[in-house]
Structures are given as structure tokens and as C-alpha cells.
Amino acid sequence: MHHLLETQQFDRDLLRSVFDLATKLENQRNDSLHGKILASLFYEPSTRTRFSFESAMMRLGGQVITAENANEVSSSVKGETLEDTIRVMNHYADAIVIRHPETGAAERAAAVSDVPVINAGDGAGQHPTQALLDLYTIERELGRLDDIHVVIVGDMRYYRAARSLSYLLGKFNNVTITGVTAPELRISDELREYLTEKNITYHETDVLPEAMKNADVIYQTRIQKERLSPEAYQRTKGQYVIDRSLADSMKDGGIIIHPLPRVGEITPEVDDSPHAVYFKQVGYGLTVRMALLSMLLGGKSVV
């Protein structure tokens, strides 16, 4: 794997390698990527993903050059194409992590890049490293990835991390996915066909309390104002909110995850619930990204 663009690139063996290395790297710092430089090129706002990658690189002894709000501070303001920007970055960095508002932008970048390109979210396309850390969180908390019921709440159509996770879940056995969404945010035909092909049981419902009672994993998502028309956003925001009473209705061992940021879809009193692991999930994400950078850039693992 030279570029990391979508979750379809991973099979179970490769996932196992990433997760085993991530576990070894927990709470570790080393110099395995000393002398390597990561270019952090973000055309969309980000807190967790950008800082997570930059922190991961530094914890492995590497360095970072960064452009936050690259659409405002890079030469794209002058009309430079994405492809030309990437060609230039190839002379400055050993790997490029990119977030871009256009679906397919990461693939365009990879097509002209000799150094690894990591997709940190491209429009409504995919967010593969978020999905990998989501899956790692599930395994660490549940102890398994087969025989699970995952309920995805809010947005199955445009939420790239939820779509990316669904593609990963298709690699496991006896998995059920339930989508709790408004009609305009339901699963795409393409993803529905993929899940059918992979023998994943998929249900849809608009009743969140009933779905939560039977779930091993609740994956709550933010309704994305930036992806919807003002009318659609007003119709769908606040439709499915998890409060403490709903969290308490979950079965023992069930977990609530969220890629964050949240904007009201999980109330603060849920934070100290034994089911809430979304802040712990952030820490899992750091070590998963350390593992990915180490594998892409040839770093030596810590045993």
C-alpha cells in the first residue's frame, strides 16, 4: 500500500497488522521516523484529524509542515491546481495528509504524487483513517469484530466516516447494521449493494430508542450543515439525540462512539455513562495513525 485513499484497500490481514502495531505503540514515543517530514494540507477545518496526524508524526520522531485552511493560505488562492500543489509538496515532504471539500480530491492528489498520500477526508467521499480508528475502538472495547450489531445514527448518505466504516464492517462475519436516519440521509444504493454482496444484514428504522436497546455499538453522527441545503438541515438537525435515559437503556457492554465534533446530538450528561467511549476513541485514533505512518514511511515498530 503506497497511498491510503479508501477503506476498500484493507483486508482482514492488513487490518490485523495495523491494529497490532497500534496496540504496541500505545503510550510510546520513539525516533523511528526521525528525519521524515509530513506535509499536513487541510483545505477544510479540522481539529482532531489534523492534530492527531501531527502529534502521531512527532511522537515517532518525525517533523511536520502544515497548511491549515489551505484554501485561504496556499497558492490555490492564486488559482494553482491541486495537482500542481501536490507536485510541489513532493519536493518538501516524505508523505502528504490531505483533507479537501471535493470528493475524489485525494485520488487526484495520489495520481501525481510519488510520496504517500493519505486521505483525511474528501468531501462526502471517504475518511478511511477515521473508520480505521472507529473499528479499532470497537475491537478494543468489545473484544471482537465478528458477531456485532452496529447502529449508525443521523447520516448514512453524506457522513464519510460512517460510510467508510460500513465498508470495513463488510469484511467481518455475522454483522448487522441498522441505520437510524431521516429519509434524505439514508444509505446510498452503492453502499447498500456492497453490504448485500458481503452478506451484511442491513435494516432501517426511524425509532432510535428501540434500536439502542439491542445495539453493541451506537455510532452517533453530526448532521452536517456544510453538506445540506438550509432547508434539509433545518428538517433533520436535532431529530435523533442521545440523552442519559437513552444511554442507560443500552445493554451491558454496549458502547457509544462518535467521530466528533458533536453539536447537540449527544447531551453532556451522557459523558460519564459507562457506555460512552467517544473521548477514549480520540486516544485510540492517535495510536492508529502512528501505526499507519510507521507502515507507510518504513518506521520500525516498538515491541
Scanning the chain, the segments in alpha helix (DSSP H) are 12-25, 48-59, 70-73, 82-89, 105-111, 128-142, 160-169, 189-197, 208-213, 230-236, 244-248, 278-297
* Residue 2 within a domain: no
* Residue 217 within a domain: yes
Other beta carbons within 10 Å of 28: 13
Residues 12 and 88 both lie in one domain:
yes
For residue 261, cis peptide bond before it (omega within 30 degrees of 0) = yes
> What is the C-alpha to C-alpha distance for residues 102 and 123, in angstroms, rounded to an integer?
5
Residues 25 and 160 both lie in one domain:
no
Residues 161 and 248 both lie in one domain:
yes
C-alpha separations of 225 from 142, 172, 187, 215 in Å:
32, 32, 18, 27
> What is the C-alpha to C-alpha distance for residues 214 and 241, in angstroms, rounded to an integer?
17
Cell of 94: 516524505
Sign of CA dihedral 283, 167, 217, 182: positive
* Catalytic one of 23, 24, 48, 235: 48
Quick: pLDDT tens for 93-105: 999 999 999 999 9
Q: Note if the pTM is more than 0.85.
A: yes
Cell of 273: 455513562
* Catalytic one of 59, 127, 237, 275: 127
- The answer to whether residue 203 scores a pLDDT higher than 80 is yes
What pLDDT is stored for residue 300 in this prediction?
56
The CATH number of whichever domain residue 133 belongs to comes to 3.40.50.1370
* Residue 95 within a domain: yes
Residues 13 and 103 both lie in one domain:
yes
What pLDDT is stored for residue 238 in this prediction?
75
Residues 277 and 132 both lie in one domain:
yes
* Residue 171 within a domain: yes
Residues 22 and 78 both lie in one domain:
yes
Residues 14 and 60 both lie in one domain:
yes
Least confident of 66-75, 218-227, 243-252, 256-265: 66-75
For residue 274, cis peptide bond before it (omega within 30 degrees of 0) = no
- Number of residues that make up the chain: 303
Q: Does the annotation count 49 as an active-site position? A: yes
* Residue 303 within a domain: no
> What is the C-alpha to C-alpha distance for residues 138 and 257, in angstroms, rounded to an integer?
9
* Catalytic one of 50, 99, 149, 289: 99
Cβ distance 218 to 137 under 8 Å?
no
> What is the C-alpha to C-alpha distance for residues 119 and 104, in angstroms, rounded to an integer?
10
What pLDDT is stored for residue 303 in this prediction?
34
Q: Does the annotation count 78 as an active-site position? A: yes
Other beta carbons within 10 Å of 17: 14
By DSSP bridging, strand 117-122 and strand 149-154 are unpaired
Q: Does the annotation count 81 as an active-site position? A: no
- The answer to whether residue 301 scores a pLDDT higher than 50 is no
Residues 237 and 189 both lie in one domain:
yes
- For residue 116, give the nearest of 76, 174, 62 by alpha carbon: 62
Indicate the average pLDDT of the chain.
90
Residues 60 and 156 both lie in one domain:
no
* Catalytic one of 7, 49, 181, 287: 49
Q: Which long-range contacts (CB under 8 A, 24 or more apart) does 75-79 make?
A: 76/43
Residues 144 and 213 both lie in one domain:
yes
* Residue 1 within a domain: no
What pLDDT is stored for residue 74 in this prediction?
57
* Residue 302 within a domain: no
Residues 163 and 59 both lie in one domain:
no
Q: Does the annotation count 251 as an active-site position? A: no
Q: Does the annotation count 48 as an active-site position? A: yes
Residues 198 and 272 both lie in one domain:
yes
* Owning domain of residue 198: 128-281
- What domain count does the chain have? 2
